[in-house]
């Protein structure tokens, strides 16, 4: 669960940073976003996942929502917001998670 949120953060931080909601003293390596932001979100989302320990979630509907978000964010960043670099990175990062979830859902015996 925490890996999925971390992939989405690749898109979100770029948009809110460009809108001026995230002010930084020095630009970071990922399109102006410091890598410590990603490490922080990874740690927080991993901790929440461990504390909550979600079980028995409906995988197919959640995968559909995640995949729709993945594609729409790629289109939004790449075409409407003029940020093809973050769109490509987000497409790759979230796309890997989508592929893993789809393969798991379609696994024989599930």
88-107: pLDDT as tens digits = 988 998 899 888 888 887 77
pTM: 0.66
d(CA 3, CA 93): 10
Q: By the 8 A CB rule, do 93 and 10 touch? A: yes
Q: What is the pLDDT of residues 26-65, one digit of tens each?
A: 677 777 778 888 788 888 888 988 998 888 888 788 888 8
Among 29, 8, 27, 20, CA closest to 95: 8
Q: Is 3 exposed, middle or buried (0-12, 13-18, 19+ CB in 10 A)?
A: middle
- The pLDDT score that the predictor gives to residue 2 is 45
Q: By the 8 A CB rule, do 86 and 12 touch? A: no
Backbone angles phi, psi at 23, to 5 degrees: -100, 135
């Amino acid at each position: 669960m925490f890996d999925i949120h971390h992939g989405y953060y690749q898109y979100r931080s770029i948009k809110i940073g460009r809108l001026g909601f995230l002010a930084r003293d020095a630009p970071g390596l990922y399109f102006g976003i410091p890598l410590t932001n990603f490490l922080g979100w990874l740690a927080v989302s991993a901790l929440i996942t461990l504390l909550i320990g979600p079980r028995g979630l409906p995988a197919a509907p959640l995968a559909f929502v995640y995949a729709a978000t993945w594609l729409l964010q790629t289109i939004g960043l790449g075409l409407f917001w003029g940020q093809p670099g973050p769109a490509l990175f987000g497409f790759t990062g979230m796309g890997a998670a989508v592929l893993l979830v789809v393969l798991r859902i379609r696994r024989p015996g599930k």
